[in-house]
Amino acid sequence: MKFDPKDIVEHLRHNLERYPYADGFPVLRELLQNADDARAGVVAVHLLEGWPEAENPLLQGPGLLIVNDGEFDARSAQGMQTFGGSVKALDEAAVGRFGLGQKSVFHLCDAFVVVPEGYGEHAPFVVNPFETLGRPGDPCLLWTSVADADAARLRAAGATSLPAKRRLNLWFPLRRPHIRPKPKSNGVVANDIAPASLSPLADWQKLAELLAALRHVKRVSVVIGAAKVDLDRRDAPGMVGYTLEPGDRCFGGPLGVGLASLGRERRAADDFFRDLRQSASWLRTRNRDTDEEEPQKATPHGAVILVNDADAKAELAGDWAVLLPVAAAFPRIPKEGKGRLRLILHGCFFVDSGRKAVIGLDETSVRLGDAHPSDEAGIRAAWNRSLRDGLVLPLIPPYCTTP
């Protein structure tokens, strides 16, 4: 069987067309998830003008530099350069196995640069899906290598954004007419990305909600033009997540000036809806190492997080989440006064491929234990509803009034 490298670009294009770019914040959400999966403690995001004198055209114009201090090894490099599959598929602790993940960055660019620093002998590289499609004279062939001087530029910029002994420097050049992969190609998607369009990335309320749900990341810094956001939960405990022992645990604390979170997570016993997980229709994933199919892991874990912005206009809103928010759980409820409350309802849910919906929760509810699905779609929906009704919703404190 022959593999056509054109399928990589077409796969990316069709996937991204199904899930439009919106305002760019979902891309940042996916990158924060990846950093959290890599156990990063700090993530810095900086919109830069680029270096006109750089050798690689990808560095010559504006781009987004994202730096984190997470783990990085040969498997990480393989995952970044793997298309059409995921090395996280069997890792229940990796949120990235649920959604678009790294593919979402191709909303911004057609190739990106990775410069590891402090991780041993890992050399810089370019993730360029057009590399094998290039013909003499095509611009994409000029993207393939990272000169020492270009790597030094990214390392210096990364050190400014995040002083640390180790840094993973990721450079995402914004799509623009001067760096088309081929003379008559608009790239993976047709839209150019103006630097000003990335201003939503500095939304401190959304960033606070993400930080409240991350397991490892303690600080997020974002600089987009004149807008600067620096949120730090310092020593406030975060969610443990899927490795929590059976039982309950509280977490949360200050996130920044006027911002705080309060959370409660629960890990059910392993017999929680065991019949679903042992069903013949339970989802299976190919193990890339053994080439054997294995049951996809799902942990009976749920959490409820309340994020409070004391100075904002009063309202209550809620999101379903797989650690980080996925979709609205109920419409916003405006109130008088101040105190914006955001309720994050997390479970180890199955989501759609674009991380825009939790499967089965927008359908007519089925009472716990009533459904006996016999196909994969039914299994996904039944598991999600079981988590919602039996694990997540019971964590919400009851509302009491004084007699």
pLDDT digits 0-9 by tens, 325-341: 889 999 999 988 999 99
Residue with tokens 């990480």: 76
Q: Which residue has the higher pLDDT, 181 or 9?
A: 181
Neighbour-count burial of 255, counting CB atoms closer than 10 A to its CB (0-12 exposed, 13-18 middle, 19+ buried): buried
- pLDDT band for position 398 (cuts 50, 70, 90): confident
Lowest-confidence pick of 235-239, 342-346, 396-400? 396-400
The region, left, alpha or beta by phi > 0 then psi within -120 to 50, assigned to residue 142 is alpha
In terms of Cα–Cα distance, which of 279, 265, 250 is closest to 380?
279
pLDDT (0 to 100) of residue 238: 94
Q: Which two tokens stand for residue 303?
A: 């959490």
Burial (CB count <10 Å: 0-12, 13-18, 19+), residue 74: exposed
pTM: 0.88
Residue 348 has pLDDT above 70, yes or no: yes
Residues forming a β-bridge with 68: 43, 168
DSSP symbols for 223-257: EETTEEEEEE-TTS-----TTPPSEEEEEEEEEET
Query: Using one digit for the tens of pLDDT, what is the confidence trace for 42-86?
Result: 999 999 999 999 999 999 999 999 999 999 999 888 888 877 544
CA distance 13 to 8: 9
pLDDT at 257 exceeding the cut of 60: yes
Is residue 353 over pLDDT 80? Answer: no
Higher pLDDT, 95 or 256: 256
Domain 6-230 has CATH 3.30.250: no
Percentage of the chain modeled with pLDDT above 70: 90
In this predicted structure, what is the pLDDT of residue 391?
A: 95
Which pLDDT belongs to residue 147?
97
Q: Tokens for 197?
A: 């369009």
Domain boundaries, the chain: 6-230, 237-395
> Across all residues in the chain, what is the average pLDDT?
87
- Given a cut of 90, whether residue 24 has pLDDT beyond it is no
Q: Which amino acid, residue 139?
A: P
- Position 90 pLDDT exceeds 90: no
pLDDT band at 301 (very low <50, low <70, confident <90, very high): very high
Tokens of 67: 């730096």
User: Rounded to the nearest 10 degrees, how much is the dihedral formed by the CA atoms of 380, 346, 93, 204?
Assistant: 130
* DSSP letter, residue 351: B
Q: How far apart are CA 51 and CA 153, in angstroms?
A: 8
Q: How confident is the model at residue 373 (pLDDT cuts 50, 70, 90)?
A: low
Q: Which residue has the higher pLDDT, 84 or 17?
A: 17
Cβ neighbours for 219, distance < 8 A, ≥ 6 positions apart: 41, 42, 43, 230, 231, 232, 233
Q: What's the CA gap between 347 and 394, in Å, rounded? A: 12
Mind listing the pLDDT tens digit for each residue in 150-196?
999 999 999 999 998 899 999 999 999 889 999 888 889 888 999 99
